[in-house]
Amino acid sequence: MLHSSEHCTVCQFREHSCLEIFLQCCATSAFLTMPVQKQVIISNFTTEQLMNVTVISEWFQVRLRPFLSSVPTNFLSSISSKNFSCKSYQVVVEALSSQEPFMNEGQKQSIFTTFIFRFLSRADLPDPGCVSDTSGSNDWLEKTLGNFSVYASWEELNNLNKNFSSVAVLGLLSSEQKAQFLLQADSGVLRNDSAFREVFSNIVTSLDLNQLGRFFTAFNETAIQMNLSIPTAILEIILNVTLLDLAPDFESFSPQNFSLWFQTYLSFFLPAIGPNTLSVIPMSIGCNSYREM
């Protein structure tokens, strides 16, 4: 009599009954690794099955779900070339997103790069980018990129969806994506002072202190990488809006906090300082904080 592992070995997995035996084996032992399991699924699904939401949901959201937190790169590469419909593709993304909290950063980046971006970029898809069956940028971002949208660059998001609206989804963008949006020439924001002020104010007021620090790190790094010359008027807006937002926190700032903000986060913008820029700084700050500033 064959043991469960032997059943797994000899079964050719050509029928769903064999796949059932296969999954039962995997559920009770560590005999087979996940990469083998995935290849079995890929080699047996027909085009009709790949496009069937019910079938894909049963496999990816139920049967394979426990294994998706350690999904291998070769599997991601394989399924990126499969003929999912946009609806069934979204089911896969939803299943992967459900396991995202259990993944490391490298795995998450790999899912976006090796599967999501490759699949959505395919010119042979009936609906490249899977845009048509979504209602607006928010819906598109959540359905087609799921929890992995933050691993895309702003340029990649716009390449995948020509109607992508960064303003509509500001709250869903990462600090890096927000910085790229503000600084990209294609966005047009840098050329319009009033538009920049509105967008930048929305970004700043939506972030807590730590998030704001990460945003400025990303903004400064992006600006340096792009070798941008930012107009003085824009620098003034950034400095004034940021200091106004920070004003309630200044009373509790330590000298180290002042050093971090004025010598690191905001140093890029200090050349635009004006006579009234620092009026929001409380007169009661200590000498050490004053020196750091």
pLDDT for 39 equals 56
pTM of the model: 0.80
- Give pLDDT, residue 197: 94
DSSP string, 44-96: H--HHHHT-HHHHHHIIIIISGGGGGG--HHHHHHHTTS---HHHHHHHHHHH
Spans of all domains in the chain? 1-32, 46-165, 173-293
pLDDT band at 12 (very low <50, low <70, confident <90, very high): very low
Picking from 231, 167, 232, the residue whose alpha carbon sits closest to that of residue 200 is: 167
Which segment of 100-114, 116-130, 216-230, 271-285 scores lowest on mean pLDDT?
271-285
Q: Between 283 and 151, name the one with better pLDDT.
A: 151
Angle at CA 226, nearest 5°, toward 225 and 232? 115
pLDDT at 9 over 50: no
Residue 258 vs residues 136, 246, 265: alpha-carbon distances, Å: 41, 11, 10
Q: Copy the structure tokens of residue 55.
A: 């079938």
Strands of the chain, DSSP E: none
Residues 258-287 have a mean pLDDT of: 89
Measured between alpha carbons, how far is 274 from 200 in angstroms, rounded to an integer? 19
